[in-house]
Amino acid sequence: MEYYMYHGKYLELHKYLLKVKEDSVVLSYEEMEIILGFKLPNSASKYVEWWDNNTHNHTQARAWRTAGWYTGNIKLGESVKFYK
């Protein structure tokens, strides 16, 4: 059994980002939904704050932050850039 720093709803995104070798990657909403296996909530398309890197208030942020990534260049409803 593999151990991950994050265990939660967004585990598949966490696992995906751990495998990325580049220093940044842009993922479309569609790509993230394929990775996750479910649709992102409507708030992810409406509020840039949903993509905030604050792990105290956002369980989804824990998925990318514990994998060593930050979010930026957010295009609501389209894509998000993840960078190390």
- Residue at 3 is within a domain: no
2 lies in a domain? no
Query: What does the alpha-carbon distance between residue 6 and residue 76 come to, in Å, rounded to a whole number?
Result: 25
Angle between helices 29-36 and 11-19 (to 10 degrees): 110
In a domain, 1, yes or no: no
How many independent structural domains does the chain possess?
1
Domain with 60 in it:
11-83
Residue 20 in contact with residue 81, Cβ under 8 Å? Answer: no
> Which residue, among 26, 21, 1, has the nearest Cα to 67 in the 3D structure?
21
**pLDDT digit string (tens) for the chain, length 84 residues:** 566 778 899 999 999 999 999 999 999 999 999 999 999 999 999 999 999 999 887 999 999 999 999 999 999 999 999 999
35: in domain: yes
For tokens 């990657």, name the residue. 25
**Residue 20 resides in a domain:** yes
**3-class secondary structure, 37:** coil
Residue 4 lies in a domain: no
For the entire predicted model, the pTM comes to 0.92
